[in-house]
Amino acid sequence: MIENIKSQANKWLSTNYDIETKEQVKELLKPENEKELIESFYKELEFGTGGLRGIMGVGTNRMNIYTVGMATQGFSNYIKNQFSDTKQIKMAIAYDCRNNSRLFAETIANIFSANGFYVYLFEDLRPTPELSFAIRHYRCQGGVVITASHNPKEYNGFKAYWDDGAQLIAPHDKNVITEVRKITEINQIKSEAIKENIEIIGAKIDEIYLNKIKTLSLSPEIISKHNDIKIVYTPIHGTGVNLVPAILKKFGFKNVFTVEEQDKVDGNFPTVISPNPENAEALKMALKKAKSIDAEIVMATDPDADRVGIAVKDNHNEFVLLNGNQTGALLVYYFINKWKEKGFLKGKEYIVKTIVSSDLISKIAEKDSVEYYDVLTGFKYIAEIIRDNEGKKKFIVGGEESYGYLAGEFVRDKDAVMACALIAEVAAWAKSKGKSMFDLLIDIYIEYGFYYEKLENIVKKGKEGAEEIEEMMTNFRENPPKEINGSQVILIKDYESCISNDLQKGKSEKINLPKSNVLQFYLEDGSKISVRPSGTEPKIKFYFSVNSKLKSKSDFEIVKNQLDDKINNILKYFS
């Protein structure tokens, strides 16, 4: 294998590649760098169903102007084929704060223009959801955002979008992959930019986007009475830095404080280990600020501002981080209650969540006869439901446990700019009832059941790691557990074979969703365990969900501890 890898690397020493790249390849070819050489060239960076994501550097398995260029040309070829009757194909491009993001965005803009497309390129970094909005606003045929979301600083990515402002779904995702694979040499890339085909956009579309988000507000009169809520916000060095404070101000909130050190845009994310709002460490500085000013809520968005993590004060007046399921439940509960209050529920409204998200969300919808959809992990599947129902049913709100939320139909990807404003509105609504956000959450548990979830990630890096994860999933399929934590496994859903096996009834049913490498085990005591390899990171994810009745607020700590013990016992089985 090593000889094949060296042969592949030596191709990059040809005159078609720039001098700096060739020097870096020469360095990798030195004997002491063999491991890094293998990781850089052992395969081609795979253009998956969402695009590219990988470590930046030279090589076929790295994010660089050549792998990005080949992906762009393949995408361009497919767009031209699909929109051959369109007089002027238009594409939009956005990028986040990561190192090389601007370089990659300009590379893509040049290639799109060279292919005859008219290009809308953002003047500076912008949130991913604004890219989705721009595609729809300018009536583009597609778009690209350069981001690796919450991955470590070494990563970057290329996310491809279709004309509805959503990420690619079938059949386009697989068909674009086919076209990208046809680009095997960099001389197949059209790179002579047509500069007059590239339009720089910015402040004007920002204002249109923010004004549209403002139309989602359901309680402006309540906000006006409680606009003094103290909010601490951090963009964690990313793209939310300007637009999140702007939308909070537009909604009417007057006490918004930021973390100055993290307002500085920086792709090295110097103040955090990982720019992921799912991690408590990423909110450490914001929490410190919140305690010093006695704030009521803390918000942190990831580098491309499509996901938001929050912290609120608990029963003991101490800040606690809410997980994505809890925040999602609060948003769904608020929206359904306000829509009911305003007479908006006519019987054709719906919400959407993912299969690994809490069943508490569907319980809230069921009680008010609001239709709900369960979709695969990935916001593109939520967007697909919105598109399929457009003009027939009305989308209220939806989201996924990984801190992504959306309301309305004018954006077709998770939107943390929007979510920050709406979460603040929920806080004002709760305050108008003499409650905190945490009180509201406990009310939900008392009414619908105390659903408690935990996510565990096992990281397996590189080629060997990918093989280990594959082996783990194979073992779960060939040797599924019969009992976990003393409770019988009564149902197994395999989304790769699209078969649901009811072990009690001895019956199998087809799962009417696209194939996906996900397994779910349902236990007799109501617990649910979901297992899936991440599509964007070198890890396998375990989602644990347990539930119980909660009779009163005074029982909260006791029941929480019982559920925590149950999850820890389930964890022992899997470890």
8 Å CB contact between 50 and 167: yes
Residue 351 carries which side chain, given as an amino acid letter? Answer: I
Give me the sign of the Cα torsion angle 114, 120, 126, 128.
Answer: negative
Return the bridge partners of 118, or none.
90
Residue 139 carries which side chain, given as an amino acid letter? Answer: R
Annotated catalytic residue, options 101, 132, 149, 402:
149
Rg of the chain (C-alpha set): 24
8 Å CB contact between 329 and 296: no
101 in catalytic set: no
DSSP E strand boundaries for 89-129: 90-95, 118-122
Spell out the residues 6+ positions from residue 357 whose beta carbon is closer than 8 angstroms to its own.
Answer: 324, 325, 328, 399, 400, 401
Reduced DSSP (H G I as helix, E B as strand, rest coil) percent helix, strand, coil of the chain, to 5: 40, 25, 35
- Quickly count: other Cβ atoms within 10 Å of residue 463's Cβ: 14
Q: Helix/strand/coil (H, E, C) string of 392-451?
A: CCEEEEEEECCCEEEECCCCCCCCHHHHHHHHHHHHHHHHHCCCCHHHHHHHHHHHHCEE
8 Å CB contact between 490 and 524: yes
Q: Say how far apart CA 328 and CA 363 lie, in whole Å.
A: 13
Angle between helices 65-82 and 101-114 (to 10 degrees): 40
Q: Is 330 left (phi over 0), alpha (psi -120 to 50) or beta?
A: alpha
Q: Which residues are catalytic?
A: 149
